[in-house]
Amino acid sequence: MKNVKTAWFCSSCGAQAPKWQGRCPACGEWNTMVEEKIVSEKKSKTLTPVSHGSRRTRPQLIHEIELDEEPRIKMPSAELNRVLGGGLVAGSLVLLGGEPGIGKSTLVLQNILSIRSRRILYVSGEESARQLKMRADRIGRPNDNVYIVCETSLQNIRDHIEEVNPGLIIIDSIQTIASDDIESVAGSVSQVRECAAQLLKYAKETAVPVMLIGHITKEGSIAGPKVLEHIVDVVLQFEGDRQGIYRILRSIKNRFGSTAELGIYEMCQRGLREVSNPSEMFLSMSNDDLSGISIGVTMEGIRAFLIEVQALVSTAAYGTPQRSVTGFDSKRMNMLLAVLEKRVGFKLAAKDVFLNIAGGLKVNDPALDLAVICAILSSNVDITIPKRICMAGEVGLSGEVRPVTRIEQRIREAEKLGMETIIIPRHNLKGIDLSGLNIKIIEVAKVEEAFRTLFV
């Protein structure tokens, strides 16, 4: 008989303990220890390479290591390539997470159905083959190189890999896969860690990329132990409102590229459509002149786009004024309100302030400060900001407008989208050639100067 014993694992970091503890000794999280069964026997099957033997490594001096450009697989989606850093690296392990029904499987399926150069094995542990066939027909991209198998056993997946010998593997999802060598249910800490480690070993030894689709918890983090995010090379987050049509793909971790990039998609009847011009989802198409609306130029990675900032200032109906923020840092908005009160003289302490970033985007760019305070002041005095004016600038505690990065790219994006005037920080144009631009540039050093330009 198998020698069965139990151990306690932390669901946050994966640390093991011989008995239950209220607080994990490794990561310090409370009430995260769960009990799982362990079978102490030698594993009979592992996910070994199909045609490549394991090679013994040797220590190398750092100057002896040869630097070669990482071979990448170009995905059909340009947005996905941008977030990945230029494409899917051979031998990489990519984890894609997101809320249920957000479109993770649709994103992966419509990309692999357009790849003709290699065999692809799609392992589904959640949906049947008929369901995947219906989705593929709806997307409308038939492909004879995609093999579908519905399986949850890691050992059986190994047999399917040996039979198909694919050039790309999709696991949907990692929380449904279980190894027969571990006596615990699929999705547990030990199962997720073991299956991910076996798939990582296979990917590195065969140079075959593996994409994992993962669940998330109600807090929005990847389900399973935190070690799962440490094991994989790339962690992608697919975000958006299920009732809305736009989806945002972010890179949380990327060993082969920047984590500042994002991709934007629109959910349509035939799948996900790439949004090449992000400003179309962040700018209002209304022709009504309304107060409390300003347009800022923000950066996400190397992309510049215009975004609409909406503010509403009203008299507080109760004793304590409300401060409600969507898509912007609430602490930073409170700082900007303090600047308006102390440095500029606008009394907002007894008023409710509501701030919203249009389109559902969460912005961390400090260059949006100037647009935020202008939208708040516009709502407070009930004066409309002209639609063809945009702005970019960081606001300091003394009320100064500080220079921002990539100002030339911001100005060119504003001109391309039909803006007539842009307000920027003074001394932000040193050494920048803006010849040939047909947009009026106004430089300000203090927030008062920006207010006089807009409202006087």
Q: Residues forming the annotated binding site?
A: 98-105
- Indicate the range of 96-100, 318-322, 370-374, 451-455 predicted with least confidence: 318-322
Query: pLDDT tens digits, residue range 100-148?
Result: 888 999 999 999 998 888 899 999 999 999 999 998 888 877 778 899 9
pLDDT band at 42 (very low <50, low <70, confident <90, very high): very low
Query: pLDDT tens digits, residue range 145-199?
Result: 899 999 999 999 999 999 999 999 999 989 999 998 887 888 888 889 889 999 9
State the amino acid at position 45 in one-letter form: K
* DSSP secondary structure letter of residue 344: I
Asked if 393 contacts 405 with a C-beta cutoff of 8 angstroms, the reply is no
Q: Which residue has the higher pLDDT, 431 or 450?
A: 450
Q: Residues forming the annotated binding site for ATP?
A: 98-105
**Helical H runs in 30-151?**
78-84, 104-112, 129-139
Main-chain dihedrals φ then ψ at residue 294, nearest 5 degrees:
-135, 165
Give the predicted TM-score (pTM) of the model.
0.74
Q: What is the pLDDT of residue 212?
A: 95
Q: What is the pLDDT of residue 1?
A: 44
259 has a pLDDT exceeding 90: no
* Spatial CA neighbour of 343 closest among 377, 298, 303: 377
Average pLDDT over residues 363-367: 91
Q: What is the pLDDT of residue 361?
A: 79
298 has a pLDDT exceeding 60: yes
CA distances in angstroms from 108 to 37, 95, 141, 211, 360, listed in the order given: 34, 11, 13, 9, 23
* DSSP secondary structure letter of residue 341: I
243 has a pLDDT exceeding 70: no
DSSP3 helix / strand / coil % (the chain, rounded to 5): 25, 30, 45
Please name the helix (run of DSSP H) or strand (run of DSSP E) that holds residue 58, with its range, or none: none
User: How many Cβ atoms sit within 10 Å of the Cβ of residue 188?
Assistant: 22
**Helical H runs in 55-180?**
78-84, 104-112, 129-139, 154-164
Please name the helix (run of DSSP H) or strand (run of DSSP E) that holds residue 146, with its range, or none: strand 146-150
* DSSP secondary structure letter of residue 320: S
39 has a pLDDT exceeding 70: no
CA distances in angstroms from 157 to 65, 154, 187, 415, listed in the order given: 35, 5, 16, 53
Look up tokens 């602490």; give the residue. Answer: 331
Asked if 425 contacts 393 with a C-beta cutoff of 8 angstroms, the reply is yes
Query: pLDDT tens digits, residue range 215-224?
Result: 888 777 887 7
Average pLDDT over residues 39-52: 52
408 has a pLDDT exceeding 50: yes
